[in-house]
Amino acid sequence: MALFTDGEPLDVSKLNSMAAKIDELNATLAMLTKSAGNNANRIPAIPIVQTGHIVVNIDAAGTKAEPIAYSPELFNGNVPKIVASPRSNLKSKQYVSVSVIGLTTTPQIVVTTNDKLTNFRIDWIAVYIQQ
The arithmetic mean of pLDDT across residues 76-86, rounded, is: 89
Q: What is the pLDDT of residue 4?
A: 65
Taking Cα atoms as reference points, which of 121, 114, 112, 111 lies closest to residue 87?
Answer: 121
pTM: 0.64
pLDDT grade for 130, boundaries at 50, 70 and 90: confident
Q: How do the domains of the chain map onto residue ranges?
A: 1-42, 46-130
Fold of 46-130: Immunoglobulin-like (2.60.40)
Q: Which residues of 107-121 are buried (b: 16+ CB within 10 A; e: fewer)?
A: bbbebebeeebeebe
Length of the chain: 131
Q: What would the pLDDT profile of 103-126 be if each residue is shown by its tens digit?
A: 888 899 999 999 999 999 999 999
Report the alpha-carbon distance of residue 98 to residue 84 in Å, rounded.
Answer: 7
Q: What are the tens digits of pLDDT across the range 26-37?
A: 777 776 665 555
